[in-house]
Amino acid sequence: MNARVVDSIIRKDVFEFSRNRFLVFITILVLVVWVVVFWLLPSNVDETVRIGVVHTGLDPLLAGLQGDDSVGVGLEAYSTEDELRAAVEEGRDDIVAGIAFPADFLDATAAGETPTVQLLVPAGLSSEQRLLLSGIVTETAYAIAGTAPPVDPTTEAIILGTDRIGAQIALQDQMRPLVLVLVLMVETFALASLVAIEVQERTVVAVLATPARVNDFLAAKGIFGTALAFIEVTLLGLLIGAFAVNAPVIIVTLLLGAVLVTGFGLFSGAFGRDFLGTLFIAFFFMIPLMIPAMGALFPGSTATWIKVLPTYGLVEALVGVTVDGESWAEVTPVLLLLAAWGAGAFVVGAYALRRRVATL
């Protein structure tokens, strides 16, 4: 392999990329859109359901429901039902709904009567919040009537796993790895498009008529594709604050991710017969490659079949470091998996392109 030849081919690729209005447009658009979208996402998690309440003399009973984030319910007191109704209607004070206890609620319940309590419910209130409202009312009434609950899940509960009360992961933090992976995926298309153009227009034949060999050509494409993806994703990472925790691990992960998508880019570019064909093949790879990143948004354990997808290691490492603050030692197994997939994808992509070039 000749380093000077490789360098010349890379320079040519950089020049061609900068002249391709479509690729430059897509690259900048993706960067700008994702940075804007990212910073518009909520940066904290509100774990509290706020409920407006009109009550008379119920403060000692409802006090247990007012407190810090760990309770999950926040009560906002209103002096009249009309005031509460207006607040619910206008969505004031962040309340999701209202409970209007009648003025004689305490006395009537204590006397064994069955008073009626109004739940003021706005359109779109979720069914679980309705359950909560009605549960609060019923338990308040039972407490006044002196009937203790048959079970007490609140105090008898056993917490399993890290208790994240008050420290839940915000959507912005959940989305950070996803955004980085998405941008890497888009680069699959960018490189595939450049390779496909080179194959279709047979400029590769012209390149190989010079002292350049196929290995030089493949090395140049690999370096250019990896650098293109890595620079873009690193820039995005800087703009969305992805390097705040354990930056060296993130950089290595993104570099391995860039190698992985370059492999898929070479493969897609080698097989794309035209622009749309390349687009189709790149999309064909992008959809399954996106699944681990989408799966990370949902709570719970990862399905086994997702673990065998090439981007699983990439997503796990990014989530592990950016969300859970994991160290080198903790992410090494998934980084090795990612490296293996990256090497495999690169070898297959380079082999496919070599075969394609040989047929020209």
* Binders of other proteins in range 254-293 (CB under 8 A): 274-277, 279-280, 283, 287
Between 252 and 279, CB nearer to other proteins: 279
Residue 91: Cβ within 10 Å count: 10
Q: Does the protein bind other proteins through residue 123 (CB under 8 A)?
A: yes
Report, in Å, the least distance between residue 38 CB and other proteins. Answer: 17
Q: How many residues make contact with other proteins (CB under 8 A)? A: 82
Q: Does the protein bind other proteins through residue 117 (CB under 8 A)?
A: yes
Report, in Å, the least distance between residue 233 CB and other proteins. Answer: 21
Residues β-bridged to residue 52: 76, 98
Residue 267: Cβ within 10 Å count: 25
Between 69 and 76, CB nearer to other proteins: 69
H or E segment and range at residue 97: strand 97-100
Distance CA 192, CA 266 (A): 6
Strand extents, DSSP E, 164-295: none
Distance CA 275, CA 186 (A): 15
Considering only residues 90-109, where is the footprint of other proteins by CB under 8 A?
Answer: 98, 109
| Residue 185 CA: distances (Å) to CA of 229, 286, 308, 352 | 9, 6, 17, 19
Distance CA 282, CA 42 (A): 31
**Exposure of 89 in the CB half-sphere (CA atoms within 13 A):** 6
Considering only residues 56-75, where is the footprint of other proteins by CB under 8 A?
Answer: 69-73
Stretch 144-163: interaction string toward other proteins, x if CB under 8 A: xx-x-xxxxxx-xxxxxxxx
Between 76 and 251, CB nearer to other proteins: 76
Q: Are 90 and 66 in contact (CB under 8 A)?
A: no
Report, in Å, the least distance between residue 5 CB and other proteins. Answer: 29
Report, in Å, the least distance between residue 274 CB and other proteins. Answer: 7
Between 26 and 223, CB nearer to other proteins: 26
Considering only residues 296-315, where is the footprint of other proteins by CB under 8 A?
Answer: 297-301
Distance CA 117, CA 115 (A): 7
Distance CA 23, CA 17 (A): 7
Tokens 């897609």: give the residue.
268
Report, in Å, the least distance between residue 229 CB and other proteins. Answer: 20
Q: Are 334 and 317 in contact (CB under 8 A)?
A: yes
Between 7 and 274, CB nearer to other proteins: 274
Q: Does the protein bind other proteins through residue 45 (CB under 8 A)?
A: yes
Nearest of 184, 179, 187, 177 to residue 334 by alpha carbon: 177
Between 109 and 172, CB nearer to other proteins: 109
From 124-132, 213-221, 254-262, 315-323, give the range in contact with other proteins by CB under 8 A.
124-132
Between 120 and 321, CB nearer to other proteins: 120
From 126-134, 208-216, 223-231, 263-271, give the range in contact with other proteins by CB under 8 A.
126-134
Residue 116: Cβ within 10 Å count: 9
Report, in Å, the least distance between residue 186 CB and other proteins. Answer: 13
Report, in Å, the least distance between residue 71 CB and other proteins. Answer: 7
